[in-house]
Structure 1
Amino acid sequence: MTIGTKLAWDDTVLPFQLDNADIRGRIARLDGVLDGILKQHDYPPTVEALVAEMALLTALIGQTIKLRWKLSLQVQSDGPVRMIATDYYGPEKDGEPARIRAYASFDRDRVSEGNPFDQIGKGYFAVLIDQGKGTVPYQGLTPIAGGSLRACAEAYFAQSEQLPTSFNLSFGLSTEAGGIQHWRAGGVMLQSMPKPGEHVANAEGTGEGGLLLAQDLVEGEAEENWNRVNFHLDTVEQLELIGPSVSPTDLLVRLFHEETPRVFDSQSVRFGCTCSEERVRQSLSIYSSKDIEKMTTEEGIVTADCQFCGAHYEMDPKTLGFEAGQDEG
């Protein structure tokens, strides 16, 4: 796929509602965000694909959190890809961009080509929401299942939130004029809006290992609406999700014009990391001088690297730990 120009709707999330079906959703397009995430690392192609998919899911899910909140998605597994971690930082103020960062931990000797999801073994998919100081972070877990990270996210919403949720995602390398390649991603997220008094806690799961699926949570008119809307979503093409020709609003009309789509203000997203030397120092403040000495290099410094953005920090060991400065004077 060849795309030569930056598009106005790149790195944005557009929330919408389908009034005739009682379904809400988001459309996301990522470009520079993925460049910021992936250029920091030398990931194999299969790992890059997993990180791109996880970042796209993070953008779609994260748009619902409030200002200054933090959403994290994590995959932990016993496969070649041991962990994928993403963070979505809600805007500080209305109108400001949200920030996303992501990284993967993997065993390079075990990573192979082929289906990226095959690089993830048994484990869990986690969603964490941090509302800030003075609050207890929320955490929800679901087993790795379903054949894709998208399916894991759908299972999480069915199991933990009991919200019928579906995703259609596309991501891959695009080629600019001159042969420069970079990653792009686009996707749509749908969620059925439960009516007051609905209760489905006793629904039986038909998914892998007995997990609940979206279709296990809908019945009657809600089921008809859900099946109809997802039938249309399944007709979307890759270039409509990540190409330059179809804007998110045009895509909504093409897919769901009979459902009376209604859009809300879009949210811009950027690659952004919160690491700093001060944060590194704070994380080391619990260690004694003897512990710090074990971390000191032959050059007489303590180093730290951010796994998200690749920032490198070098610090004087005498200034680190809870005993720092006690020998002075």
Structure 2
Amino acid sequence: MNTASTIAWDDTVLPFQLDRSDIRGRVARLDGVLDQVLQQHDYPPAVEALVAEMALLTALIGQTIKLRWKLSLQVRGDGPARLIATDYYGPTKDGEPGRVRAYASYDKDAIDPTGHPFSQVGKGYFAILIDQGEGTTPYQGITPIAGGSLSACAEAYFAQSEQLPTAFQLTFGKASVPGGDESWRAGGIMLQAMPKASPLANPGEATDDGLTAVEDLLNDDEGENWTRATLLMRTAEEIELIGPTVQPTELLVRLFHEEQPRVFDPQPVQFGCSCSPDKVRQSLSIYSAKDIEHMTTDENTVTADCQFCGAHYEFEPNTLGFEATAGPDAKP
């Protein structure tokens, strides 16, 4: 095992471009991020797998956007896995890591322990929200759940809402090295056609389910390049995506050496949450004193728990809501 490569590339997203094909991409590997995300909750294995896949997608997609603040992904379904939600916070300065957090809501009594994780979602929608911060209008795009995985949902979203051919090759699961503890690992590749001024080659065409097909977004030469690059990506093996010995740069050469791959600066990612006492207070500022009274415990406090990181907050009731009679630092 090459320990140096493991240390260098875990929890990292590497941007690249295939100069011959006019296609951009990302290679991501997550290790410690997933452990920190999943250790906050005692999820069933199927839900853990969904959260792991969604966190990996979020790291890959978030790094493609010139993000000043936050990218959010959501899958809502009518199955036992009701909600998978993730956030990616862009670095505030060059060299700083991006931050990822994730959370799932599910019906533990309805989860099928023998079923495929994606089958637990049911029918619903896949959404992407981009919030560039104060003074901007958030962007939201929604597409129906499609395909047999969360990555297929993301591919359908980009084809439908952004008219950008996009493909993913992902792997994730619990793994261990000799003498080491078992932990969650995930690795994947994202390919995306370079945006064009008029991306829709055949506007108005769609698949049987009403969603735009990738083939409709490319002309003949572009389609040939896209097909060749995605076929090469599909040959990536699980051990190459999450194993301890193959660096992402080496993987790109193995897969795409004839496509003239060019890499850019890697982006580290880490687990991170934006919750704070002030944000909880702000979320409760719309409530009256009577509403706050209904939220008050027998110990005469109002409590709140962050679903993403598990942080626990306690407040004095008279410091909350738009009828607060004391400042936030008031003591009982």
Whether TM exceeds 0.5 here: the answer is yes
Is 1:77–1:122's contact at 8 Å kept on the other side of the alignment?
Answer: yes
Letter in 2 for 1:133: E
Between the two proteins, the alignment pairs up a number of residues equal to 326
Is 1:164–1:192's contact at 8 Å kept on the other side of the alignment?
Answer: yes
Is 2:58–2:73's contact at 8 Å kept on the other side of the alignment?
Answer: yes
Deviations 1:245-283 (A, max 9, x none): 110000000000001000011111010000111111111
**Alpha carbons of structure 1 residues 253 and 283: separation in structure 2 relative to 1, 3 Å:** same
Give me the TM-score of the superposition, normalised by structure 2: 0.94
Q: Where does residue 142 of structure 2 map in the other structure?
A: 141
Is 2:201–2:219's contact at 8 Å kept on the other side of the alignment?
Answer: no
**Alpha carbons of structure 1 residues 40 and 326: separation in structure 2 relative to 1, 3 Å:** closer
Question: For the residues of structure 1 that align with 2:326 and 2:164, how far apart are their CA atoms?
Answer: 55
Deviations 1:203-245 (A, max 9, x none): 5223x61312323322311111011111111111001000011
Give me the TM-score of the superposition, normalised by structure 1: 0.95
**Alpha carbons of structure 1 residues 203 and 191: separation in structure 2 relative to 1, 3 Å:** farther
Deviation at 1:134, TM superposition (A): 1.1
Deviations 1:77-136 (A, max 9, x none): 111011111000000111110100000000000111221000001110000000111111
Deviations 1:141-173 (A, max 9, x none): 000011110100000000001001000000000
Question: For the residues of structure 1 that align with 2:260 and 2:68, how far apart are their CA atoms?
Answer: 32
Is 1:22–1:193's contact at 8 Å kept on the other side of the alignment?
Answer: yes
In structure 1, stretches of 5+ residues that fail to align are none
Query: Which stretch shifts more, 15-24 or 187-196?
Result: 187-196
Question: For the residues of structure 2 that align with 1:130 and 1:321, how far apart are their CA atoms?
Answer: 25
Q: Where does residue 323 of structure 1 map in the other structure?
A: 323
Q: Does 1:168 align with 2:169?
A: yes
**Alpha carbons of structure 1 residues 172 and 325: separation in structure 2 relative to 1, 3 Å:** same
Q: Where does residue 278 of structure 1 map in the other structure?
A: 278
Is 1:28–1:59's contact at 8 Å kept on the other side of the alignment?
Answer: yes
Query: Which stretch shifts more, 291-300 or 317-326?
Result: 317-326
Question: For the residues of structure 1 that align with 2:111 and 2:238, how far apart are their CA atoms?
Answer: 26
Deviation at 1:178, TM superposition (A): 4.5
SS at match of 2:236: coil
Q: Where does residue 132 of structure 1 map in the other structure?
A: 133
Is 1:75–1:124's contact at 8 Å kept on the other side of the alignment?
Answer: yes
Question: For the residues of structure 1 that align with 2:126 and 2:195, how far apart are their CA atoms?
Answer: 24
Deviations 1:5-49 (A, max 9, x none): 852101110000000011110000001110110000000000000
Letter in 2 for 1:52: A
Q: Where does residue 32 of structure 2 map in the other structure?
A: 32
**Alpha carbons of structure 1 residues 42 and 254: separation in structure 2 relative to 1, 3 Å:** same
Is 1:4–1:175's contact at 8 Å kept on the other side of the alignment?
Answer: no
Letter in 2 for 1:221: D
Q: Does 1:88 align with 2:113?
A: no
Identity over aligned residues, as a percent? 69
Is 1:3–1:243's contact at 8 Å kept on the other side of the alignment?
Answer: no
Q: How does 1:237-252 map to 2 (within 5 A)?
A: 237-252=237-252
Q: Where does residue 59 of structure 2 map in the other structure?
A: 59
Question: For the residues of structure 1 that align with 2:196 and 2:126, how far apart are their CA atoms?
Answer: 27
Deviations 1:262-311 (A, max 9, x none): 00111110100001111111111111111111001111111100000011
SS at match of 2:148: coil
Q: Where does residue 301 of structure 2 map in the other structure?
A: 301
Question: For the residues of structure 2 that align with 1:199 and 1:245, how far apart are their CA atoms?
Answer: 41
In structure 2, stretches of 5+ residues that fail to align are none
